[in-house]
C-alpha cells in the first residue's frame, strides 16, 4: 500500500528507509493518547460544521473499534506505516471507508504527535507523583517508631552529632516532597493543548481549539503555533524531574548499602529484597539499592540525550525530534519500577536501633555540646571554647572512651571554669534533644516535622 503522503513521489520508499525512518516500534505506546486526541478532534470538527454529525459519529465509532483491536492484541502493526498515527488512520479508513480520510482535516502529524506525547508526559507526571506519595507514606510509618532512636549524624562521612533515625528519614521525605512539587509544577505549566496548530502556522479551517482543550481536559491552549510544534520543554522537564528524583533515590540507596554492611549493621534487608552470591553461600547482597543507584546514570543519559538532540534545531519541526520519545519512555518506566521496588524494600526493612545507638559512642558526638556549654555558661569566646573542647577530645582519646563518658574531674582538669552541671549536656540523648531550633533533630522538633509531612499527605489524598 502506498504511503499516505506519497502523492508527489514517483518511486516508493526503500525498505531500509522504512526501517530507519519508522517510529512505530516504540511510539505505539501512544495509541491511547492518539485515539483520544482523534476522537476529540473529530468531535470538534463536527461541532464546527467541518464534518457532518454522521461523519463524526462514524469516525468516533471507528476509532473506538481500533482501540479495542489494539487492546485485544488483534491489531497488525506494519513498519511501512511509519508511526502510530498513520497506523491508526490507515486501519480506521479500512473500517469506515473514505470518511476516514477526513479525520486529518485541519491537523498535521506535527501537532498530532505534540498532543499525544504531551498527554503521555502529563499523565506520567501525575502517576510518578502518586508513587512518590506512597514512598513518603512508607518512610513516615518507619519514622514514627524511631523519633528517639539515636544514630550518628555525619559530615564528610565522619561521625558529627547525634540525631534520631526519624529525623534522618525526614530529610529524604522532604527531598521526595520537593520532587512531587516539581512534577506537579511541570504538569500545571504544560497543561496546554497543542492540537489546532497544524504543521507550524495554524490552520485556515474554522477550528475551535478551546473546545478541543475542554474535551481533552487541558487548562487552555498553547499561544503560539510555531513554538508549539517544536516545543519539547515538557519532555525535558519530566526527564530532569526524574533525574533529580533518581539522584535522591541514589543518595538514599548509598546510605542503605552502607548501613546494611557488616561495618554498620544499622539496617537489614528482608530476604524478599536481597540476593545471594553464586560462589559465597554466606552472602546477602543489597542488590535493590545497588541497582537503584546505578539507574540514576541511565536517566541522566536520557536527559542529556534529548538536550543534545534539541540544542541546534531551527524552527519548527525537524525529524531529529523523533528521537524525543524513547528516552522519555525509558525514564518513566525506570522511575516507576524504581519507586515501586524501593517502597516495597523499605516497607520490609529491619532497623537495628541498638547498633545505631552504639555507633553514637564513637567519634565524640557531644563535643560540640561541650563547646556550646563553655560559651553559654562560662562566657568563653567560641574560638577558645573550640580549643578547650579539642583538648578534652584528646584526653578522651588517651583514655579510650567517648567524651560523653568522661568524669567531671577529668573535664575540670582541662579547664577549671568547667562546672559540674556540664554533665547534664554531654549524654547523647541530651545532645540530640538540645538541638531544638526549628527544623532541628530534637524529638519534639522531629515530631513537628512528621506531623507536617502527615498533614501534607492527607491534603494530597483529599
Q: Which residues are catalytic, by number?
A: 156, 277
User: Do the Cβ atoms of 306 and 327 come closer than 8 Å?
Assistant: yes
Rg from Cα positions in the chain: 30
DSSP string for 172-215:
HHHHHHHHHHHHHHHHHHH-EE-TT-TTTT--SS---HHHHHHH
User: Do the Cβ atoms of 94 and 101 come closer than 8 Å?
Assistant: no
Nearest-10 Cα torsion for 92, 95, 101, 107: -20
Q: What is the DSSP letter of 430?
A: H
Distance, in Å, from the CA atom of 328 to the CA atom of 312, rounded to the nearest integer, reads 20
Pairing of strands 267-268, 158-164: unpaired
CB-CB neighbours of 35 under 10 Å: 20
Pairing of strands 192-193, 220-221: parallel
Crossing angle between the packed helical segments 325-347 and 287-310, to the nearest 10 degrees: 160
Residue with the three cell numbers 498532543: 115
Distance, in Å, from the CA atom of 404 to the CA atom of 70, rounded to the nearest integer, reads 69
Amino acid at each position: 500500500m502506498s504511503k499516505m503522503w506519497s502523492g508527489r513521489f514517483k518511486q516508493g520508499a526503500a525498505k531500509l528507509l522504512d526501517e530507519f525512518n519508522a517510529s512505530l516500534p516504540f511510539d505505539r505506546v501512544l495509541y491511547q493518547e492518539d485515539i483520544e486526541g482523534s476522537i476529540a478532534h473529530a468531535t470538534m470538527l463536527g461541532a464546527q460544521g467541518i464534518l457532518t454529525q454522521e461523519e463524526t459519529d462514524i469516525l468516533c465509532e471507528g476509532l473506538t473499534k481500533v482501540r479495542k483491536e489494539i487492546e485485544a492484541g488483534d491489531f497488525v502493526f506494519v513498519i511501512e506505516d511509519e508511526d502510530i498515527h498513520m497506523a491508526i488512520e490507515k486501519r480506521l479508513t479500512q473500517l469506515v471507508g473514505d470518511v476516514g480520510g477526513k479525520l486529518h482535516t485541519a491537523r498535521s502529524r506535527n501537532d498530532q504527535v505534540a498532543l499525544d506525547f504531551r498527554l503521555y508526559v502529563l499523565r506520567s507526571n501525575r502517576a510518578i507523583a502518586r508513587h512518590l506519595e506512597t514512598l513518603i507514606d512508607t518512610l513516615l510509618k518507619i519514622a514514627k517508631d524511631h523519633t528517639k532512636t539515636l544514630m550518628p549524624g555525619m559530615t564528610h562521612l565522619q561521625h558529627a552529632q547525634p540525631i534520631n533515625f526519624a529525623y534522618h528519614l525526614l530529610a529524604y521525605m522532604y527531598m521526595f516532597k520537593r520532587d512531587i512539587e516539581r512534577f506537579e509544577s511541570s504538569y500545571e505549566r504544560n497543561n496546554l493543548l497543542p492540537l489546532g496548530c497544524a504543521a507550524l502556522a495554524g490552520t485556515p479551517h474554522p477550528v475551535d481549539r478551546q473546545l478541543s482543550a475542554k474535551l481533552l481536559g487541558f487548562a487552555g491552549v498553547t499561544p503560539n503555533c510555531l513554538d508549539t510544534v517544536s516545543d519539547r520543554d515538557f519532555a525535558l522537564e519530566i526527564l530532569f524531574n526524574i533525574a533529580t528524583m533518581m539522584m535522591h533515590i541514589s543518595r538514599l540507596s548509598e546510605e542503605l548499602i552502607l548501613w546494611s554492611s557488616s561495618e554498620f549493621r544499622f539496617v537489614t534487608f528482608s530476604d524478599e529484597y536481597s540476593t545471594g552470591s553464586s560462589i559465597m553461600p554466606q552472602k546477602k547482597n543489597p542488590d535493590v539499592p545497588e541497582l537503584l543507584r546505578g539507574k540514576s546514570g541511565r536517566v541522566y543519559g536520557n536527559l542529556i540525550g534529548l538536550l543534545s538532540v534539541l540544542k541546534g534545531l531551527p524552527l519548527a519541526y525537524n525529524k531529529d525530534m523523533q528521537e524525543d520519545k524513547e528516552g522519555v519512555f525509558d525514564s518513566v518506566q525506570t522511575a516507576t519500577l524504581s519507586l515501586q521496588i524501593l517502597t516495597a524494600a523499605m516497607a520490609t526493612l529491619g532497623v537495628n536501633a541498638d547498633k545505631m545507638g552504639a555507633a553514637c559512642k564513637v567519634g565524640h558526638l557531644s563535643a560540640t555540646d561541650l563547646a556550646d556549654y563553655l560559651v553559654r555558661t562560662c562566657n568563653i569566646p567560641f574560638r577558645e571554647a573550640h580549643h578547650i573542647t579539642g583538648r578534652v577530645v584528646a584526653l578522651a582519646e588517651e583514655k579510650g572512651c567517648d567524651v560523653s563518658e568522661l568524669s567531671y574531674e577529668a573535664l575540670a582538669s582541662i579547664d577549671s571554669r568547667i562546672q559540674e552541671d556540664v554533665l547534664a549536656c554531654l549524654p547523647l540523648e541530651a545532645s540530640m534533644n538540645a538541638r531544638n531550633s526549628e527544623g532541628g533533630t530534637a524529638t519534639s522538633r522531629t515530631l513537628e516535622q512528621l506531623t507536617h509531612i502527615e498533614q501534607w499527605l492527607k491534603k494530597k489524598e483529599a
